[in-house]
Structure 1
Amino acid sequence: MTLPQRTALFSFVLPVILISITYYLSWQGGHVELCNPFIDGCEAITATGVYYPAAYVFRGLMVAFVSFALWWYCAAAWLNSINSAGIKSWVRHLVIIAMGASVLGVASISVMGENMVPPKEHREIWRFHSITAILFFLITSLCQILMALRMHQLRDQLDYPRWSVPVKVVLATAQLLTLITLIVLVVTDRETSEIVQIVEWWLAAFICVFFLTGFWDWKNFRLTRLERLSPSEKHQEANV
């Protein structure tokens, strides 16, 4: 397994595990309802990480955001490796912006904890968390949409499973439709906290699955020349 593959896998597995644990701990503590937030919108992702001990686990997501940033670096290096002229400038800027969004995610998580309770007395902390979290979701979703578009343009040049780019396009389309739906509801003043929370959960899921697709894309891609083949991979290449 290559370093880029580990990054893609880690970017999916870690958030799923941490959110599951924090949800369970918060439910056990009586702070959230036990439901399906993807359908009911009964709880926000943030609600699972306010109270201790769940808040301690929730802060582990800062590591996941670092992994997201590394994923974008791997994606840029991968695209650059297939073209001697290098990647387009707008793609390079896209990657930098996406990595900046990951930094916003770290900032959003860093203030989480019981120091936010009660909300009325800590509005500045909640405002900071909300703004940075919204910017992370919005920027990352838009960057993934544009990255899917670029990979679709290069589909005949990339070394990847043929199903990978169509899956990315589907995920990007789902993110775009979700964002458009939310914008329409906000403009028409029909959004509710439940709808916003449902959107938040689904966007988080789409983002993580998008990152996971890199696991199959980067099977033969190595980030550095120092990254060696494992014995099993050497054996497989010898038999080709």
Structure 2
Amino acid sequence: MYNPNSVRLWWLALAAALVPLLTIHLTFFVSVIEGYVSFCIPYWDSCTSISRTGRYGTAYFIFKGTMLPAAIIGVLFWWCNRMWLAQLGLRSASVAWVPWLGLVAGLALAAYTVALGHEGDGFNLMRRIGVVLYLSLTFLCELLISGALRLHPSWSRPARGLLGLCQLTLAVGILSVLLNAFAPELYRRTDDAFEWVFALLINAHALWLALLWRKSGFRVRFWVD
């Protein structure tokens, strides 16, 4: 039921999807313009990592200035996803984990962002742990949300599409692991491309959720009369 004191939040999901995605492309082009990386198509040329695009020059400040807010937006996004499913009548023990997994993912993204551009074993470890936790926990949140949504009779069709996107993301991750294990030379030539593709897929999932939030009319009440 409509409540005049509630607000629609699909724009929050849209920001959770687009802010990190647009940031990495913006910092890539800025780094190209400033000469820190060569122009290429990173999704298949595997010419530069996402980290390198935000490590030098103007891109360094752009990356930190947008990714730190993106971490906060991501935490709110996953917290609201649980509320969205509750409004749809979907409650489960697995979904209850989503806000907490999202919180750790947001903290991991923040840690990775802070460490980026700084040298030293401690910063390198912080960056590696941060990016692994962020990507893996974000994927897990997306999988849990998609699985829960599949149980709703009116939303099972888009849920199957979301689960298909999760399967594709998982396949990309498994392929990268297999290449690293059995063809390390090939993996070293393609690992950056895997990173770009994985980031694209997880943000595409968030964008799809934003469209579903809008379609469902998801609203949240932040204050009382």
TM-score by length of 1: 0.81
Consecutive unaligned residues of structure 1, counting only runs of 5 or more, are: 117-121, 228-240
Q: Closer, same or farther in 2 for the Cα pair 1:52/1:8, shift >3 Å?
A: same
Selected match of 1:16 from 13, 16, 21: 21
Q: How does 1:156-235 map to 2 (within 5 A)?
A: 156-158=153-155, 164-190=158-184, 192-219=187-214, 220-224=217-221
Amino acid at match of 1:136: Y
Selected match of 1:108 from 91, 112, 136: 112
Does the alignment pair 1:25 with 2:20?
no
Instruction: Give the superposed CA RMSD.
Output: 2.2
1:233 corresponds to which residue? none
1:134 corresponds to which residue? 132
The number of aligned residues is: 215
1:146 corresponds to which residue? 144
> Offset of 1:194 from its aligned partner?
3.3
> Using the alignment, how far apart are the partners of 2:151 and 2:105 within structure 1?
24
> Offset of 1:174 from its aligned partner?
0.9
Selected match of 1:41 from 46, 71, 76: 46
Q: Percent identity?
A: 21
Does the alignment pair 1:56 with 2:54?
no
> Offset of 1:98 from its aligned partner?
2.5
Offset from partner CA, 1:46-65 (integer Å, 9 cap, x none): 00011121100001111112
8 Å CA contact 1:145, 1:176 repeated in 2: no
Offset from partner CA, 1:158-217 (integer Å, 9 cap, x none): 5xxx76323312211111111111222233253523322111111111111111112222
Q: SS of the counterpart of 2:43?
A: helix
Q: SS of the counterpart of 2:173?
A: helix
> Using the alignment, how far apart are the partners of 2:171 and 2:56 within structure 1?
33
Q: SS of the counterpart of 1:213?
A: helix
8 Å CA contact 1:71, 1:211 repeated in 2: no
Selected match of 1:93 from 90, 97, 101: 97
Q: SS of the counterpart of 1:223?
A: strand
Offset from partner CA, 1:87-143 (integer Å, 9 cap, x none): 212211133112211210111101223x33xxxxx2331221012111211221122
Does the alignment pair 1:74 with 2:58?
no
Of structures 1 and 2, the larger Rg is shown by 1
Q: SS of the counterpart of 1:72?
A: helix
TM-score by length of 2: 0.86
Amino acid at match of 2:140: L
- Runs of 4+ in structure 1 off by over 3 angstroms are none
